[in-house]
Amino acid sequence: MKEKFIITIISDDKRGLLNQFISIFNKRGFEIEGLNFSRTDQDDIVIITFELLLPVEEVATTLHKIEKIIEVYKVFATKEKECPLRKCSFFKVNKTFLSDTGRKLLIKHAAEITQVNNDSVVIEKLGTDNEINNLYRDLEEEYLVSYCKTTLVSERGQLYIHDI
């Protein structure tokens, strides 16, 4: 049975390294649902986070394959259920959103307006998939023009690169 895992890799920033990780997942048929690549305050060290569906019994083997790559300092996996995750989403809505109903939706969903254009408004919502989906449903029929969602932002705690 497949479950959603968050795999976090701390490594040197080397050309082609991301392809090596993706190749490992593709060869095993794992479905990548999200990817986040972030630079750190340490020169040439990056944090790469994958959100993927994979069988529980293959997690240890996959982590071991990744650990064997010379540039990798640390890799760990967390079940999505065990790690509070938030994502950033952006909703482009029509200008009629700027009514009392729209303002009530902003308050209800703890979202905020980040841009007002001539014909549309951009709303930002930081939250779990469920929270973002709830706002999506409330906007979908009357206001929604387009939508996108970023990958993961973990609230698990600070990750100190100096400890590697």
Give tens-digit pLDDT for 115-130. Answer: 999 999 999 998 888 8
* Contact by Cβ (8 Å): 128, 92: no
**Which residue is listed with tokens 């009530």?**
104
Q: What angle do CA 88, 93, 95 make, to 5 degrees?
A: 140
- Reference 93, options 72, 63, 114; nearest CA is 114
How far, in Å, CA of 13 to CA of 48, rounded? 10
pTM of the model: 0.67
Q: Of all residues in the chain, what percent carry a pLDDT higher than 70?
A: 90
User: Given this model, what pLDDT does residue 162 score?
Assistant: 40
Run of H or E including 161: none
Mean pLDDT, the chain, integer:
86
How far, in Å, CA of 132 to CA of 115, rounded? 18
Quick check: 160 pLDDT over 60?
no
The CA-to-CA distance between both ends of the chain, in Å, stands at 33
In angstroms, what CA-CA distances link 67 with 20, 57, 60, 64?
12, 17, 10, 5
Quick check: 1 pLDDT over 90?
no
pLDDT digits (tens, 9 = 90+) for 47-102: 898 989 999 999 999 999 999 999 999 998 988 777 666 778 899 999 999 988 99
